[in-house]
């Protein structure tokens, strides 16, 4: 039995970690560049780069907290619920909004392949964060589809997919390995 | 300057490699399981596993070659063009068809998030193949949308996205780093 090749353990052991288990510091500028470079290495038919990553950190987190709180109020949440939404934006030292730019009329690349590229980018960004000692998870839900929140992030033609919360883990990210390869693997 | 963490170089240096640069051997059964396990670690909202991976290897490659050749004939390609399509199925020692199973009516997870999971799975499968010393690339195009080919792979409700060709590289996969992080990164 030989040791697994470098990098394989990383891929097999990355688990998402909730915001309540994240603390400062978040990635620094150089680490962020590395994470985005990894995102750009996801398969991307025709090299469209059909996404933008928008970084929210430092003081900008309060603006995001205001948006989340306003959304919670509009949904009729009580004071505790609103406070929890604020906390969701404030606790992670870095939050990266994921915007998709899907060209529905591209002659070569169907929309679903462009969405797959966005997903590959998110996966590789999280893989790279994990390799650098950080943890986090993708957040989406109805907040991402609220018009006043989408407008705060998107240029025309962009779709706000959600946010990747990132920080230093307060406990090791681990999962329960609920999935088995038999769920996904067949032979022709 | 400290050395990059294990796994990071893998993510930054994976490039797709065309079928003509692939040779035997392909992944063995244990390596395939590892690659699929990595695919299953891509972010997957609500753990839907919205994909199936169908392995074509050994003798099954001739059946795939027949389908590709038939498609080329229907498109009016000449003998050389048809032979090239056969070769596309026969040269890679392993080809993995990617089928998406998108639940358009899911109450929590929009279709685009499910497509992102499929893309993350493809990205991690290729990352893992690269970590194990293999190379390859995703193939799609109009073949994947030809009804007689889709029917040969799909159950009802499934979409054939394309194929991941895999093998041992005859030259190191490398790219030209045409993309820069500035294309994808903004600050809010």
Per-residue pLDDT of chain A (188 residues; tens, 9 = 90+): 466 777 899 999 999 999 999 999 999 999 999 999 999 999 999 999 999 999 999 999 999 999 999 999 999 999 999 999 999 999 999 999 999 999 999 999 999 999 999 999 999 999 999 999 999 999 999 999 999 999 999 999 999 999 999 999 999 877 777 899 999 999 99
What is the interface pTM, i.e. ipTM, of the complex?
Answer: 0.96
**Chain-chain contact of A118 with B119 (C-beta, under 8 angstroms):** yes
Q: Which of B5, B117, B153 comes nearest A132 by C-beta?
A: B5
CB-based contact, B68 to chain A, within 8 Å: no
Total residues found in chain B within this entry = 188
Q: Domain total for chain B? A: 1
- Which residue, B46, B53, B118, is CA-closest to A122? B118
Residue A183 falls inside a structural domain: no
**CATH number assigned to the domain comprising residue A123:** 3.40.109.10
For residue A39, what are the domain limits? 18-57+92-170
B58 near A CB under 8 A? no
From chain B residues 119-148, the ones with a CB under 8 A of any chain A CB are 119-124, 126-128, 130-133, 137-138, 140-141
Question: Is residue B100 helix, strand or coil?
Answer: strand
B80 domain residue, yes or no: no
Q: Does A104 map to a domain? A: yes
| Sequence-ordered list of residues with C-beta below 8 angstroms from that of B4, at least 6 positions apart, any chain | none
- What element of type H or E holds A35? helix A29-39
Q: Considering the domain boundaries, does residue A99 fall inside one? A: yes
The dihedrals phi and psi of A15, each to the nearest 5 degrees, come to -125, 150
pLDDT at B1 over 50: no
Asked if A83 is an interface residue toward chain B (Cβ–Cβ < 8 A), one would say no
Establish if A11 belongs to a structural domain: no
A187 lies in a domain?
A: no
Q: Which residues of B touch A131 (CB under 8 A)?
A: 5-8, 11
A100 and chain B: CB distance < 8 Å anywhere? Answer: yes
Average pLDDT score over chain B: 94
Residue reference for tokens 């229907």: B74
């Amino acid at each position: 039995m030989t040791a697994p090749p470098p990098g394989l353990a990383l891929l097999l052991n990355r688990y998402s970690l909730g915001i309540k288990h994240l603390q400062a510091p978040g990635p620094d500028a150089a680490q962020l560049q590395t994470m985005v470079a990894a995102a750009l290495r996801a398969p991307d038919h025709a090299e469209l780069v059909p996404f933008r990553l928008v970084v929210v950190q430092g003081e900008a987190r309060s603006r995001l907290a205001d948006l989340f709180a306003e959304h919670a109020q509009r949904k009729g949440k009580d004071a505790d619920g609103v406070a929890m939404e604020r906390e969701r934006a404030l606790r992670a030292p870095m939050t990266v909004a994921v915007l998709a730019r899907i060209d529905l009329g591209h002659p070569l690349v169907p929309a679903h392949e462009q969405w797959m590229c966005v997903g590959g980018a998110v996966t590789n960004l999280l893989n790279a964060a994990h390799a650098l000692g950080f943890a986090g998870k993708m957040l989406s839900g109805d907040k991402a589809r609220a018009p006043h929140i989408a407008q705060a992030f998107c240029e025309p033609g962009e779709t706000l997919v959600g946010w990747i919360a990132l920080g230093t883990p307060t406990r090791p990210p681990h999962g329960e390995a609920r999935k088995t390869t038999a769920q996904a693997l067949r032979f022709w």
